[in-house]
Amino acid sequence: MVSVRKIGKGYQYYFDIAPQEGKRKRVSKSGFKTKAEAKKEGIIAYNEYLNTGKTTPSNYNMSFSDYLDYWIDNYCKINLKYHTIQSYTNIINNHIKPNLGYYKLSQLDTKCLQDFINKIYVEKSFSKSFLHNILKVIKGSIKYACKTVGFIKYNPAAEVNLPKYDTPPNDPAHIFSEKEIEMILKRFENNHAVYYSILTAYYTGLRVSEVFALTWDDIDFNRKTIKYNKTYF
């Protein structure tokens, strides 16, 4: 049972936990401005203690957006390569946060995650490869929250899968003629970033997202080859 008492100018909650070596043990936390606030947080802490043995659910109200920042700082930047971190950060900022970031981490469930994957597959027409990368970020981050740091009790992303159907495009793919390519290049001849991106895509068959993700170490000028294994957006 949770009790509240006034400590100085604020309030403190406290409750008993399992005795150790026959001695009474208690959990408490002070610094709350009101009695109601102390009671509310005390009940949350007590329920968490009963369900998982953790007495300080400091991440109970953490948003998924804030958690993803935590995951990047505490896992990705320590264990992954620079380009992988950049790719994950782009996926998080451009796709995951705008759609799921406002949820509390503790609110996420399998249905909302699967609905998100299905929705962007249908509406954005991303390639299966890029969708796989988005799902990889979701699964990896939430698994870390559950299995490694214990912020949540179960992993709602474990059973989320990529769609197994194909959505036919609304418009057939357009194959540009040489004359059309010349017109496009002429239009952007003074914009080197766009000009050479289109030129690279035209002669290599790369997607726009793959061209913009290229770095100098992907290009071998001696062998006249380009290596690509990532996308920018």
According to the model, what pLDDT value does residue 53 have? 42
Q: How far is CA 213 from the centre of its chain?
A: 19
According to the model, what pLDDT value does residue 56 have? 42
| Residue 117 contacts residue 124 (beta carbons within 8 Å) | no
Specify the amino acid at residue 166. Answer: D
Question: What does the alpha-carbon distance between residue 211 and residue 215 come to, in Å, rounded to a whole number?
Answer: 9
Q: How far is CA 130 from the centre of its chain?
A: 14
Residues 6+ positions from 169 with CB-CB distance below 8 Å: 125
DSSP code per residue over 34-87? SHHHHHHHHHHHHHHHHHHS-S--TTTT-BHHHHHHHHIIIIIHHHS-HHHHHH
SS3 26: strand
- The b/e string for 67-106 (b: 16+ C-beta within 10 A; e otherwise) is bbebbbeebbeeeeeeeeebbbbbbbeebbbeebbebbbb
pLDDT digits (tens, 9 = 90+) for 133-153: 999 999 999 999 999 998 888
DSSP code per residue over 85-116? HHHHHHHIIIIIHHHHTTSBGGG--HHHHHHH
- How is residue 7 written in tokens? 């400590």
pTM: 0.51
Question: What does the alpha-carbon distance between residue 13 and residue 11 come to, in Å, rounded to a whole number?
Answer: 7
According to the model, what pLDDT value does residue 158 have? 94
Low-confidence ranges of the chain (pLDDT < 70): 50-60, 165-174, 232-233
- How is residue 39 written in tokens? 């009671």
Question: What does the alpha-carbon distance between residue 67 and residue 105 come to, in Å, rounded to a whole number?
Answer: 7
| Residue 228 contacts residue 206 (beta carbons within 8 Å) | yes
